[in-house]
Structure 1
Amino acid sequence: MSDPTASQAPSYPRVAIVTGATSGIGEAIARSFVAQGIAVVGNGRSADKLTELERELGATFRGVAGDAGDAALIERLFETAADAFGRSADIVVVNAGRGLGGSVKDADLGQFEDVLRINLSGALNLMQQAARVMVEKQATDYPQKPADIVVIGSVVGKHISPFSAVYGSTKFAVHSLAEGLRREIGPKGVRVTLVEPGIVISGFQAVAGYADDMVGKFEDNWGPLLYGEDIANAVQFVVDQPPHVHVSEIMVRPTRQDYP
């Protein structure tokens, strides 16, 4: 006998995993997806913030608290997507990361191991897991359905700034991984997109150790600056394309930002 509750289960057009979803770009992306009816598993370190988002966004959002550099957490994100929404994720946004101010000469290298672990090792782990899940999925779903891995990079991962070169080195590496993955699994029907934001106002600056007067100079020189919603709009555009259309790379700067 069929389950009488089956027809009542919500149907989602897509299921997404978004890391770093408790603030800034990640939170804006999660909100954008939910507004479009996309189910979201959001990750962040703040369990309280995730609980708040669950209350606000409803059953379409599930939070998983933990450190995005933890391999066990990455597995839990995919398990949660399947358990909560009935199928595997077909969008993964590799967003979690942290900044580190300072030049090669002056950066606090005592913090660099943590930056590497989150920005590079954690990103690689998530990209690898997403690739394995999506290649299997697209073996039967492509070209009827899309699958997207969206990697949030940075303008300083392409254009070297001496004042953030240490942080930028992790983004150079992530950009390389994203392009390598695109060449590997694009032919298998999985889209890998690199999104490179310019200056975005968020909690990133405080964690990176940027002084208030430096952020003020950014605003004076290049403002109005970007907010998370501006990058979320670009990501939404990427994933909304039909399955045979791939936007490989987008760089988004404030209009007045000339460098980097």
Structure 2
Amino acid sequence: MSQQNTSTQGVSEDSSRFSRVAIVTGATSGIGEATVRKFVQSGYGVIGNARSADKLEALAVELGDAFFGVAGDAGDASVIDQLLDAAQAYFARPADIVVVNAGRGLGGLMTEVDLAEYEQVLKLNVLGAALLMQKAAQALVEKQAADFPRQAADIVVIGSVVGRNISPFSAVYGSTKFAVQSLAEGLRREVGKKGVRVTVIEPGIVVSGFQDAAGYDDHLVDKFNTDFGPLLYGADIANAIDFVVAQPSHIHINELMIRPTRQDYP
């Protein structure tokens, strides 16, 4: 069941000062949290989503009226509707950036992975992402019918290098990113001509809580650092996202792969 964060209810006192309005899922950790912070620094208003109302509340206290949190499962259609509605209600205009970031990993070889757990990963990483992409695209196409090329509109999808290259240690997780990147490319071909940019960001190994949640053991994480370090941080990916959406409306960077310098594969 979803729960809206009520601590920041109401309309931002001066919403006109925000140059753009963004929705970011997975907003309280890793790439998502770094993106929220970068967008606020860039002068954007942000609607953030995560499961933890307490963590969203902490961000709202820190970031002030530039941030509004909606707690709930990013794979839930009703939560996605809340996110889109909150942009209009809180910032007095619709979102023009949607970052499809929420997701989880699942480590393990194909012969060993728990396929029951894989089903839950598929629900969030693929179906949840598809729902958000679909609803965001519908709203942004309607918006851009009047606003393009005067204004840009962006859907940014967080993929992965393992969505392009098969990796034995995360083959099933990688399959969800192959799927999401396929969906995003199909969507780009559909809505790009209507003034909506769809960009896939494909990070390599990023230092975050992702590895623990995915079940990667300490030995594997240590090997990442030894073989590929220094690794990426969430802020590195957030900087790239900010660059992509800052381009003039007629410029579309539709794919961007980012690896640590020493990461040769995947």
TM-score band w.r.t. shorter chain: over 0.9
Match of 1:144 among 121, 146, 150: 150
The superposition leaves residues 203-223 of structure 1 with CA deviations (integer Å, 9 ceiling, x where unpaired) of 111110011121111000000
1:9: how far off? 5.1
CA distance 1:8–1:167, change in 2 (3 Å): closer
Which aligned pairs between 1:1-260 and structure 2 lie closer than 5 A? 10-260=16-266
Letter in 2 for 1:133: A
Task: Please say if residues 156 and 201 of structure 2, whose CA atoms lie closer than 8 Å, have aligned partners that are also in contact.
Answer: yes
Whole-angstrom CA distance in 1 between matches of 2:204 and 2:248: 27
The superposition leaves residues 220-251 of structure 1 with CA deviations (integer Å, 9 ceiling, x where unpaired) of 00000000000001100000000000001000
For structure 2, which runs of at least 5 residues remain unmatched after alignment? 1-11
State TM-score, norm by structure 2: 0.94
1:10: how far off? 3.9
SS at match of 2:150: coil
Letter in 1 for 2:31: I
State TM-score, norm by structure 1: 0.96
> Alignment identity in percent?
65
The superposition leaves residues 169-207 of structure 1 with CA deviations (integer Å, 9 ceiling, x where unpaired) of 000000000000000000000000000000001111111
SS at match of 2:47: strand
For structure 1, which runs of at least 5 residues remain unmatched after alignment? 1-5
CA distance 1:88–1:9, change in 2 (3 Å): closer
Whole-angstrom CA distance in 1 between matches of 2:112 and 2:74: 27
Whole-angstrom CA distance in 2 between matches of 1:96 and 1:256: 27
CA distance 1:99–1:84, change in 2 (3 Å): same
- After the TM superposition, list the runs of 4 or more consecutive aligned residues in structure 1 that deviate by more than 3 angstroms: 6-10
SS at match of 2:146: helix
Which residue in the other structure is 1:3 paired with?
A: none
Task: Please say if residues 145 and 194 of structure 2, whose CA atoms lie closer than 8 Å, have aligned partners that are also in contact.
Answer: yes
